[in-house]
Amino acid sequence: MKTSIALTAVAALAAKASAACFSERLGYPCCSGNEVVYTDNDGKWGVENGNWCGIADAPTCWSLSQGYPCCSSSNAEVWYTDASGKWGVENGDWCGIPTGTTGGNVTPSNEQYTISGNPFKGVEFYINPYYVEEVDGAIAQMSDSSLIAKAEKMKTYSNAIWLDTIKNMQSWLESNLQGAQSQHQSSGKDILTVFVVYDLPGRDCHALASNGELLANDGDLARYKSEYIDVIEGHLKTYKSQPVVLIVEPDSLANLVTNLESTPACADSEKYYLEGHAYLIKKLGVLPHVAMYLDIGHAFWLGWDDNREKAGKVYAKVISSGAPGNVRGFTDNVSNYTPWEDPTLSRGPETEWNPCPDEKRYLEAISKDFKSAGIKSVYFVSDSSRNGKKVDRKHPGEWCNQTGVGVGARPQASPVSGMDYLDAFYWIKPLGESDGTSDESAARFDGYCGHETAMKPAPEAGQWFQKHFEQGIKNANPPL
């Protein structure tokens, strides 16, 4: 190496080489352990505290043989490269950057990604690190090697990240947008991240198990706009180089179709559901790298002819209220169990004369109804996270922690030949997270979670339900 290269002013710059492992320059901490969950061009990644962390390679100090120390940082800035390796500077002297690490800094991209057509097509799906950690916790409770192998496979599939409170949005939105951007910078592939926007005032007005933090009043609507949607907008504008899909407010608009007259809480929430949707569509629907899907319940909610006809009018009104924002389409079967195809069912007494007794027939019918209602962009994402096996429910409207659950079709773009309006099968509801508590004394207890076919005992909505997860991976269709 040529020692004649000037070192003046170099000592002042040595602080740039202070990260303890490669992930710190990408905005992620170093792992305290060494379990590898994912590997890319940056290095090996683990998951701790619901977030990605970098696993430092054991350094090989090749520069010692040449009379120079190893750099104390595994990601020291590269000042010179020769046949020996990469050199950094610390304390006014040369040091060798250990092999097996990557030097240099990553600069966030200012490029603008623009979605054209199906956002799930031609991209790599982002892996949710929080879910990986949940599954690791589940594996720690297992002893059956075959079950553990199935659970390990679950960590390799993408699922949605739920922004179900203001606090969770603040914790999870930006960190995962950063993760997707870093993954893109290391792999060169476009990385799609899917988020669920889920914090409307008066959320889930017809159920108790998943009521939200914001109430149906003007003050909480203002909070929804300023503390939730506006913050989401700001982060999405900052991280604009990668595609993002937003699943918008599950159950909300479907409740406006069927439950306004029967449920006072839904009547009280109508104004806030409509204003909230109009606001978020205007704000987020104009971003070129974002595709939004409004929730349409499932086959045994809006499948009947009169419900579909009414839904067309409601959804057309909502979409037009958000102009100039755009909506790509709609999502069905979110957090539900209705099979994609069920040839054993037809329109008759056992289905209460529903002409759409499975999700495929539902989408076939409602796509025509929505186009007839004047909706221009009619595409679908179908939640296949828990509908691989027909569950034991006595009535197809049962929705809480159903026994017999099985994980369904894997996340995939354009999965069904001849259905060009089906953008993807995707895991929106993470298998293993409870639908609601079975504790009748709990404030958020919903009667459906105490029904005969609901698995018990069950924890609160969103909390980990080990028994339900294990049954889901055992019954996976196709098998894991």
**Range picked from 185-194, 390-399, 407-416, 447-456 for highest mean pLDDT:** 407-416
Burial pattern 390-403, b for ≥16 Cβ within 10 A else e, equals bbebeebebbbbbb
pLDDT at 9 over 60: no
Instruction: State the average pLDDT for the chain.
Output: 88
Tell me what the mean pLDDT of segment 389-401 comes to. 85
What pLDDT, in 10s, does the model give residues 410-433?
999 999 999 999 999 999 999 999
Lowest mean pLDDT among 65-74, 123-132, 248-257: 65-74
Known active-site residue 82: no
| Per-range mean pLDDT, top range of 36-45, 77-86, 361-370 | 361-370
DSSP 218: H
DSSP symbols for 65-125 = GGT-PBPSSTTPPP-EE-SS-EEEEETTEEEEPPBT---S-PPPP-PPP---S-TTTTSEE
Residue range 205-240, pLDDT digits in tens: 987 766 789 999 999 999 999 999 999 999 999 999
The better pLDDT of the pair 317, 392 is held by: 317
Q: How many CA atoms lie within 13 A of 350 on its CB side?
A: 6
E strands, 148-285, are 161-163, 191-197, 244-248
Q: Considering the chain, what percentage of its residues have pLDDT values greater than 90?
A: 68
* CA atoms lying within 13 Å on the CB side of residue 307: 23
**Does pLDDT of 61 surpass 50?**
yes
Q: Give the model's pLDDT for residue 409.
A: 98
Residue 164 is among the residues annotated as catalytic for this protein: no
**pTM listed for this prediction:** 0.80
Q: Given the structure tokens 């629907």, which residue do they identify?
A: 285
Q: Stretch 456-461: mean pLDDT, rounded? A: 94
Alpha carbons 303 and 360: distance in angstroms, whole number? 11
Confidence of residue 58 (pLDDT cuts 50, 70, 90): low
- In the set 42, 164, 199, 204, the catalytic residue is 204
The pLDDT assigned to 274 comes to 98
What local confidence, expressed as pLDDT, does residue 50 receive? 77
Query: Which pair of structure tokens corresponds to residue 233?
Result: 């907008």
Q: Which residue has the higher pLDDT, 274 or 394?
A: 274
Active-site residue, selected from the candidate residues 42, 164, 220, 251:
251
Q: Say what the pLDDT of residue 41 is.
A: 73
Alpha-carbon gap, residue 247 to 424, rounded angstroms: 13
144 is an active site residue: no
For 100, counting Cβ atoms within 10 Å of its Cβ (0-12 exposed, 13-18 middle, 19+ buried), the class is: middle
Give dist(CA 104, CA 283) in Å, integer: 36
Confidence class of residue 11 from pLDDT cuts 50, 70 and 90? very low
Tokens 């914001």 locate to 214
